[in-house]
Amino acid sequence: MDFKTDVLCIGAGYVGGPTMAVIADRCPHVKVTVVDVNAARIAAWNSDDLPIYEPGLDEVVRRARGRNLFFTTDVQAGIKAADIIFVSVNTPTKTFGEGAGRAADLQYWEKTAREILACADRDKIVVEKSTLPVRTAEAMERILNNNTRGLRFDVLSNPEFLAEGTAVADLENPDRVLVGSHETPEGLRARKAVVDIYTTWVPRERVIESNLWSSELTKLTANAFLAQRISSINSISALCERTEADVDQVAYAIGTDSRIGSRFLKASVGFGGSCFKKDILNLVYIAETYGLHEVAEYWESVVRMNEWQQTRFVRNMLANMFNTVAGKRIALLGFAFKADTGDTRESAAISVTRQLLADHARVVITDPKALDNARRDCAGFEGDLTFEPDPYRAAAGAHAIAVLTEWRLYKTLDYGRILDGMEKPAFIFDGRNILDHRTLFEMGFNVFPIGKRPLKHF
C-alpha cells in the first residue's frame, strides 16, 4: 500500500507508544513506525501483552498494527524511510555534574539527533515530543544542520499533554494540540505538515501554532501550573486538619468560581508521575541560569510542598499509632502514582514505603496493576517488605491500612471483612479521600483522611 506520509517515532514509552498508536488509528494514509533501543519493549508492543497499561489502548493497537502501525528495533531503516521523525526518548533529571538534581539529562536526545544525522539521506522534519528545556531545539538544529551533505532538518516542538490512565481519550479528544516552529517559510511549511496530521481528527481550532520557544516553554508551564494547584490545595489540607475545616468542602467551594475551576484541586498524599517534578525542576534550573532567582524559588516551593505532604502523611500515621510502627504490619493499598496505570514513577508510595520501613514497620504493598514496578522500585529497600496482589490478604493481620492510589476497587472492598481480620485498634489512613469515612468509623475503624478532622474511638 502507498502511504502519503511516513512518520517515525523514536522511543516507544508511555508517550511515544500511545501517541503513535492513535495517529496510526486515525490516519490510515500515514505509515507510522515506532522504534526503540529496548528490544524487549518492542517485542511487547508486537504481542498481546502491551508493555504499558492504558484503558482502550489494546483495541487501538489491534486495529492499526500491521496495517499502518509498526514496531521495530531497526532505528536506522526507520530514519531513512521517514519524512517526519518524532523524538520521544526519555529526558530524566540529571543525576551527575552541573545541574545534577535539576537540569534535564539530554544525552539520549543528543545521541538520537546524531543518529538521525548519520542515517538520513534526504531532508527531514524532526519533532520534539519529549519535554525539553527551552531552547533545546536550537542545539538540536545546530547538530543536525551542521552537515556537509546539504541536508536540511527543520526542528519543531509538539509537546504531549496526555495524562496517564486517560492517554487514549486525551489523544483522541485533546483540549489542544500545540505545534511550534520557526516562523520562516521553511519552518512554516514543516509546521503545516505536522498540523495536517493532527487535523485529520482534531478540530482545526484546537490546533494551536506558535514559535518554537513558546511551544517548549508552554509544556513546562502547563505542568508547573497543574502541579502548583495540587501543592496549593495540599498546603490548605494541613491547615484544615488543624482548624476543623474540610478540604474537600473548601476545594468544592473555591472550584465553583469559574476563574479558579474545579479540576486538579483534589488533596492527596502528594503528586507523582514522571513529569511534574522533573518539569518544575527544569523550569527552576532555567530560571536560575538566567539569574531569575525569585522565579526559581517560587516554583521550587511547589516541589518542596509536595515532599512535605508525603513526609507529613507518614508522621501523621506515626503520631496516631502511639508514636511507633515498629513491628506493626501496615498494608498500602495502591502503589501506582495515580489510578488506571501501572506506572509508579515518582509515586508518593515510594517515599511512604521508605519512611515506614525506616521506622521498622512491616510493610505489605498491594496494587492491581503496579506490583511489578513496585518490586523494582523497592529492590534496594531494607526491611520487612512483601507484595500481595489480593487486598484482603494484604490487610489480614494489619494494624493499619493506607490508601495511596485512588483505584475504584478500593472504594468497594468489604471493609467489614477487612476489619475482622485486622489488629485492634484498626487504623485507616486515606491518602486519597476516596472512602466513606463516617461508615468506616461507625464500623469500628479509626479513620484519618487528608485535610479533614480524624474520626477516632479513643
Binding site for ligand UDX (CB under 6 A): 10-16, 36-38, 41, 88-91, 108, 111-112, 129-131, 160-164, 223, 226, 230, 264-266, 268, 271-276, 337-338
Residue 52: C-alpha distances to residues 164, 368, 388 (Å): 10, 14, 20
Half-sphere exposure of 65 (CA within 13 A, CB side): 19
Q: Which residue is nearest to ligand UDX (CB)?
A: 13
Query: 389: how many CB neighbours lie within 10 A of its CB?
Result: 11
**Which grid coordinates are listed for 80?**
531513512
Q: How far is the CB of 225 from ligand UDX (least distance, A)?
A: 10
Q: How far is the CB of 431 from ligand UDX (least distance, A)?
A: 9
If the CB atoms of residues 131 and 157 are measured against ligand UDX, the closer one turns out to be 131
If the CB atoms of residues 22 and 230 are measured against ligand UDX, the closer one turns out to be 230
Spot the catalytic one: 9, 27, 240, 275: 275
CB contact at 8 A, 176 and 206:
yes
Q: How far is the CB of 396 from ligand UDX (least distance, A)?
A: 27
- Closest of 168, 134, 133, 165 to residue 272, by C-alpha: 165
CB contact at 8 A, 156 and 216:
no
If the CB atoms of residues 275 and 401 are measured against ligand UDX, the closer one turns out to be 275
If the CB atoms of residues 246 and 419 are measured against ligand UDX, the closer one turns out to be 246
If the CB atoms of residues 87 and 321 are measured against ligand UDX, the closer one turns out to be 87
**Which grid coordinates are listed for 458?**
479513643
Find the helix or strand (DSSP H, E) in which 8 lies.
strand 5-10
If the CB atoms of residues 274 and 366 are measured against ligand UDX, the closer one turns out to be 274
Q: How far is the CB of 222 from ligand UDX (least distance, A)?
A: 6
If the CB atoms of residues 54 and 359 are measured against ligand UDX, the closer one turns out to be 54
Q: How far is the CB of 300 from ligand UDX (least distance, A)?
A: 18
Q: Rounded to 5 degrees, what are φ and ψ at 439?
A: -65, -40
Q: In what order do the strands lie in the sheet with 30-35?
A: 69-72, 30-35, 5-10, 84-87, 124-128, 153-157, 177-181, 207-211
Q: Rounded to 5 degrees, what are φ and ψ at 103?
A: -70, 160
Q: Is 275 labeled as catalytic in the residue annotation?
A: yes
Q: How far is the CB of 18 from ligand UDX (least distance, A)?
A: 9
d(CA 223, CA 127): 20
Strand positions, DSSP E, 297-421? 329-333, 362-366, 385-387, 400-403
**Which grid coordinates are listed for 286?**
532555567
Q: In whole angstroms, what separates CA 305 from the centre of its chain?
A: 18
Q: How far is the CB of 170 from ligand UDX (least distance, A)?
A: 8
Catalytic residues, by residue number, are: 275
